[in-house]
Amino acid sequence: MFNLIFQFTMKRISLFTLLAATIISCSSDDDNNGGNANTPPAKVYTAEDISSVDGKAYYSLRTQSLVAAEDSATTKWDIAFDGTNIYLNGGVSGPGDAAGQVKATLFDEADEAPENGYIKDKVGLPAISAAAGNTWYIYNDGAGTPPHSIIMTPGRVIFVKTADGQYAKIELLSYYKGNPDTGTQAFANLQTRPPSRYHTFRFAVAADGGRKF
């Protein structure tokens, strides 16, 4: 009788241990996925021909829309284009918490935003600019091909904290109106090249305040 009771007790202990281990494992998986293992991949959007020809173009990554310059002192916008400089709604540029950095990686493989390394705009120093060490383009001078052109650097992703502290990733696709093929003779010819300062890019914002895309 004692052996039967002992065997029954050990089976219950083993079952309890197995259940506890399963619960801990599931909890760990949730933690590794930003607290929600069932969160679907972040939706990727494409913004086309965002023009900074006449000055800064303010854009909200959260609403996927342009923001009027009259609202530049609010947290409605996240990023602002001004030629090859990209301003963020934080630091000296706005009341938000936006900050950013550029990483050498592929957009489709960037499944998680960095936890650290973000910088905010400073006086005369936009966070995403050559002067700040965060470049996303190559400038070809007169001796380059195509001459006097801004070409996207392959494998560069801009990671941004939005004005309200969410995480986003951005890939610049073109600096010219209509996202033209930069390898054509029409583009190489300055007389037929489309106008510049028209930004086309794709982006995604992580869900639920997490860093995973």
Look up residue 81 and give its two tokens: 């284009």
Per-residue pLDDT at 15 exceeds 90: no
pLDDT at residue 20, as a whole number: 42
Mean pLDDT for the chain overall = 87
* Amino acid in the structure at residue 150: I
Distance of alpha carbon 173 from alpha carbon 4, whole angstroms: 72
SS3 of the chain: helix, strand, coil, percent, to 5: 20, 30, 45
Q: Give the pLDDT score at 37.
A: 57
| Residues 105-132, mean pLDDT to the nearest whole number | 97
What pLDDT shows up at residue 13?
A: 38
CA angle 95, 96, 100 (to 5 degrees): 130
The Cα–Cα gap between 120 and 126 comes to 8
Poorest-pLDDT segment among 14-23, 77-86, 103-112, 142-151: 14-23
Q: Is the pLDDT of residue 10 over 50?
A: no
- State how beta strands 156-161 and 99-104 pair: antiparallel
The alpha helices in 105-172, defined as continuous H runs, are none
C-alpha distance from residue 41 to each of 18, 169, 190 (Å): 31, 13, 41
pLDDT tens profile 25-82: 434 444 444 445 567 899 999 999 999 999 999 999 999 999 999 999 999 999 999 9
The predicted pLDDT at position 208 comes to 86
What is the arithmetic mean of pLDDT over 155-165? 98
* DSSP per-residue string spanning 154-203: TTEEEEEE-TTS-EEEEEEEEEETT---TTSHHHHSTTTSPPEEEEEEEE
Sheet holding 196-205, edge to edge: 44-51, 196-205, 167-176, 156-161, 99-104
Q: For position 7, what pLDDT does the model report?
A: 43
pLDDT of residue 30: 42
Mean pLDDT for 163-183 is 98
For residue 36, the model assigns a pLDDT of 53
Query: What CA–CA distances, in Å, run from 114 to 6, 159, 161?
Result: 52, 8, 10
Percent of the chain with pLDDT over 70: 82
So what's the pLDDT on residue 169?
98
Mean pLDDT value across residues 83-87: 97
Inform me whether the pLDDT recorded for 4 exceeds 50. Answer: no
